[in-house]
Structure 1
């Protein structure tokens, strides 16, 4: 990106070369929802201040993960969020937004209107494939007058590019009345048997909810993503090996789906250990354990890494890795 000054992005000085507005929008923009009228005029309906740039990552150099990150986190991920922005919601971060908005052609983005109804949609980020998808829609009246809300909730599968794939759930939210200070929650569920055949690559789902307040015409918009978690592929292998000496590797996981896994295979890579190879595997019945074993023979000295991919017709690219020091 750029080249663009990292400090300028952090402070909202998007007028400096190069690509300032583009990079800033990627890491710290406020998301603005607009309503397009029949006459072509657009009206601002909502500003979401904390949906962009929450988890900025880069590839960590091999061998630089701490012991805790190896055991409890992602050893391949290095968080660089604080290099691009101040702490979310802090005065410094809001000041950077105000500074960046000075260079915008629109002057009506931050006009304030009566917005006394709050909408939230909560999903469980630890939902695994094979579990029911559960959503909770909550409406809260923070004002001093009665409010009536109508809207729609849609859950759909999507490709990793963000392109919508198939609709999994669509529900109307009709005439929800809220007295001052009242909160109402509605729960929705999609059984695994209804969504498994409609998932796209990477098991991503798009959540979209729009509610309109009858009395004030306030538009509440929630757009979020849910990535269904795949089974954890466990690996057992030695931490050290020698050139020319074969060793065994064992991988395993439990089939979480209510269907048999078919057309199963293991793809194994180990730069400096062996060339990529694919091993065909047997079908895995419902709730049964998969256990795969293979051998590897190192050919080069140094810090190496074994990477294993499990693929089948129902689930793709369950991955795991294991470091090996070759002497």
Structure 2
């Protein structure tokens, strides 16, 4: 039998991939209707039109070839040959004839639910009595399919699929545990060029660059894809997307708090020759990873852990050192972040022992290396909760992020070291993600840990070889620190410290209160805002309250995006030298951006948004500008420059745009000025189809 190795096209007059219909059925039409984008394990339809009645249904036989990557190979699974059959086989590549004539062949094709994702070429082989002729039909892009029960990323809940795969808008929770802020984010995974950028990201990974054929053989695995994305979203080991930076200056890039969505970041990386985008911090890394993974078809959500430990030496202890003024010495490599953001992706874990399917934690922020690379996960959330530190990947590190103990030491002027506090409950609070179907906060702390102090929690500590703290006699000197709530940026902060003497004799104590600038991921050594000291007598079994006030004049110049201030209080008994220590992080509330969209929101019809903002600070704001962004609403970004706003002055501005996509969209507004930056506001807009 003769073989024609080259793909010939002269016998084929037309190939119809029915892109619009197929993509609608595969839930990819939001990406494009001009090219075939399908999900694995699900049938799609194509039609081949032959010239000159080239097809004889009585004698001609056909095979199909689907292949991906360089040097496709049947052995490696990157090249699959399959004959036309009587019915679709849901477990492997298969095809059936839908209808046929001497000039037309209609095929129903289903890929394997374990197929490699990415670009595939589809070839039709016509086998006659004397030769085999191959027709290159074209290219299709194959994605994971969480709607397919045989796919490893299968998720049975329709509402969760809508949220964790199809929703292009979201909310990320930041701030601190006592004042949680909602940060709107446009993931934009269905913008048409984003899929190509996501596939380019996979092709730029070091493993693919080193051995492209081998890397493509592993692209059927969501574990492999997630691990690749976790590494490639940061640029520490590779040509990744984001450069992380946590300190000023940011003048040669974009301050991380300025970003409103992933699309601009991904496009900048793509358009600048895969050079890293400056700059990212944890929520930006996580949000970009969420965009990429949702785009590829893996259900993914953004998760925030408040009071998140970064345990560098793996001893499950976070040790902090302060001087006797309450100022942090900054000598420990360990830290507790006010919040830290990662993502969870949903998948089966056939590579692990049973019981580890479901949500998997992934962290693209470059903190510690995993197998020599700055990536983290996927770590089964179930394994984290159970303290199963032998499970891959990186369970011990994430276990510490939500469970480590905090130990506080104070050094006297003479260098004497005193352990003044051990807190087993501080780390891992209010672990949060966006609710399904709304912008409210869903507390998922119980997914990661048992209730603090419970028998189960103690059992898990032992299982994870957690260090226990010996019991000590009950302390007789206590401190409690509170503030007036809510605290608005620009207003005075009233700090109340309550000293409790549980003893039967009076005490003469020295009380020291400090306020210092706080970054969300650590304290800023030396950035002291205010110190306060007072000698105070506390009677037997007495509680005494001391007040300190902090004005905008004192704290205003120290604030950044999160308006965080760390308050510490230290009290020392002058006679017994017994001490007590406490701290509290506060986040000042920025003024609100009010957004109104009157009337109906209709596809392809001009829409007007009214944006209002009041300057509640006691100082004038200059260089005021609003930046608007919204996937499916605005192409790129829109700026409205306001100029100057005096104290108490309000500005109202109007913006017009034409919605390009139907459904629930999120309009994000960012306000910047010389003294107040990255104030966020958003509104959900339900874009309807226009009436004919």
TM-score tier (shorter): 0.7 to 0.9
| Pairing 1:322–2:683 present | yes
Alpha-carbon contact 1:240-1:324 (below 8 Å) kept: no
2: distance between equivalents of 1:45 and 1:307?
Answer: 45
Q: In structure 2, do the counterparts of structure 1 residues 214 and 76 end up closer, same or farther at CA, with 3 Å as the change threshold?
A: same
Equivalence for 1:84:
448
Distance 1:36 1:194, change over 3 A: closer
- Give the alignment's Cα RMSD to 1 decimal: 2.8
User: Corresponding residue for 2:57?
Assistant: none
Q: Tell me the TM-score normalized by structure 2.
A: 0.42
Q: Helix, strand or coil for the counterpart of 1:279?
A: strand
The equivalent of 1:135 in structure 2 is: 495
- Residue 525 (structure 2) pairs with residue 188 (structure 1): no
2:382 corresponds in structure 1 to: 7
Displacement of 1:98: 5.6
**1:161 partnered with 2:521:** yes
Q: Distance in 2 between matches of 1:78 and 1:184?
A: 38
Name the structure 2 match of 1:205: 565
Kept after mapping to 2: 8 A contact 1:238/1:324 = no
Q: Which residue of 2 aligns with 1:304?
A: 665
Q: Does the aligned pair in 2 maintain the 1:159–1:201 contact within 8 Å? A: no
Q: Aligned-pair distance for 1:239?
A: 7.6
Cα gap change, 1:89/1:190 in structure 2, threshold over 3 Å: closer, same or farther? Answer: same
8 A contact 1:123–1:134 mirrored in 2 = yes
Q: Tell me which residue corresponds to 1:295.
A: 656
2:428 paired residue number: 53
In terms of Rg, which structure is larger?
2
Tell me which moved more, 29-38 or 299-308. Answer: 29-38
In the alignment, is residue 241 of structure 1 matched against residue 601 of structure 2?
Answer: yes
Deviates more, 1:13-22 or 1:301-310: 13-22
Q: In the comparison of the two structures, how many residue pairs are matched?
A: 311
SS of structure 1 residue aligned to 2:426: coil
Displacement after TM superposition at 1:297 (Å) = 0.8
SS for the counterpart of 2:553 is helix
Aligned to 2:619: 259
**How far, CA to CA, are the matches of 1:99 and 1:118 in structure 2?**
32
| CA gap 1:147/1:19 in 2 versus in 1, 3 angstroms | farther
Partner of 1:25: 400
Asked if 2 retains the 8 angstrom alpha-carbon contact of 1:251 and 1:292, the reply is: yes
Q: After TM superposition, give the deviation of residue 213 of structure 1 in Å.
A: 3.0
**Secondary structure, counterpart of 2:447 in structure 1:** helix
Alignment match, 1:69: none
Deviation at 1:266, TM superposition (A): 0.6
Instruction: Tell me the distance in 2 between the aligned counterparts of 1:41 and 1:187.
Output: 29
Work out whether 1:121 is the aligned partner of 2:496. Answer: no
The alignment partner of 1:10 has SS state of helix
Aligned-partner SS, 1:304: strand
Cα shift readout 1:180-231 (whole Å, capped 9, x = no counterpart): 2111110000122332223233211111222223444333221221110001
Distance 2:391 2:413 in 1: 38
The answer for the alignment partner of 1:72 in structure 2 is none
Residues of 2 paired with 1:153 and 1:41: CA distance? 20
Q: Secondary structure at the match of 1:200?
A: coil
TM-score computed with the length of structure 1 as normaliser: 0.84
Deviation for aligned residue 1:272: 0.9
Moved more, 236-245 or 315-324: 236-245
Give secondary structure in 1 for the equivalent of 2:433: strand
Contact 1:160–1:201 (CA<8 Å) still a contact in 2? no
1:39–1:179 CA distance, 2 compared to 1 (3 A)? closer
- CA distance 1:210–1:256, change in 2 (3 Å): same
The verdict on how the C-alpha distance between 1:94 and 1:230 changes in structure 2, with shifts beyond 3 A counting, is farther
Name which structure has the greater RCO, CA cutoff 8 Å, separation 6+: 1
CA 1:47 to 1:130, structure 2 compared with 1: closer, same or farther past 3 Å? same
Whole-Å separation in 2 of the counterparts to 1:11 and 1:141: 40
User: In structure 2, what is the Cα distance between the partners aligned to 1:282 and 1:162?
Assistant: 34
